[in-house]
Amino acid sequence: MSRPAPRKPEYHKINKDLFVLTYGALVAQLCKDYEKDEDVNTYLDKMGYGIGTRLVEDFLARSCVGRCHSYSEITDIIAQVAFKMYLGITPSVTCNNSSRNEFSLILDKNPLVEFVEELPAGRSSLCYCNLLCGIIRGALEMVHLAADVTFLQDRLRGDSVTEIGITFLKKLDEKKYRRKK
C-alpha cells in the first residue's frame, strides 16, 4: 500500500487509537474494580448513556440530518451517518419484526476491539462494547425516543458476528412525525 502524503493519514489513525486505547484502559480498570460481569456491563451502559446524551447534539450539529419519519429511517441514519462519522464503519441494518420497531445493526468491523484478542479469563459474559449500547440509548432518549439497546451477538464472546439490537419502545410523537405504515 503506497503512502501518498507522509504523515497526515497516520495522525488520523492514531487519533482514533487514542479513543480505542482509552476505552480499553477503562474496561481494564472496571474489570479490576468489579468482580461481576453484569456490574461492568451496567457501568459501561450508564457511561455510554451519559456520553450519548451529549454526543447527539454534536452529531446533529455536524450532520444536519432532517426530521425522520420512521424507526427504520432513524436506524439507517444511526448506521450510515453516525457510526460512519464517529467510528468510521457502516454497520448493516436489518429489521427483525413485522411491526418494524426492532432492528439489528450488524457490525462487520468493530474498531473498539482492534487491540483486543480475546476476553480476559473468567469474563466470558463481558460485553466489551457495551458503551455503544448506552450511547445509542442516550442519544435516542434526547430526541424523545425510548429504546432498548443490547448486544445480541458478540464476536468476542464466540458468536460469528457482532450484532446490536435496537427495540423502539414508544410510538413516535404523532404531532411531529408521521407513522410509517
- Enumerate binding residues for other proteins (CB under 8 A): 10-19, 21-26, 28-29, 33, 43, 47, 50-51, 54-55, 58, 62, 85-88, 115, 131
CB of 26 to other proteins, least distance (A): 6
Is the CB of 51 or the CB of 95 nearer to other proteins?
A: 51
Q: Are 82 and 59 in contact (CB under 8 A)?
A: yes
- Cβ-based nearer residue to other proteins, 51 or 142: 51
Q: Cβ 160 to other proteins, closest distance in Å? A: 27
Q: Which is nearer to other proteins, 45 or 154 (CB)?
A: 45
With CA atoms as reference, report the closest residue to 128 among 90, 98, 102, 158: 158
Closest separation in Å from C-beta 60 to other proteins? 12
Please identify, using beta-carbon distances, which residue of 62 and 144 lies nearer to other proteins.
62
Q: Pick the closer one to other proteins by CB: 5 or 18.
A: 18
Q: How far is the CB of 126 from other proteins (least distance, A)?
A: 17
Minimum distance of other proteins from residue 61's CB (angstroms): 10
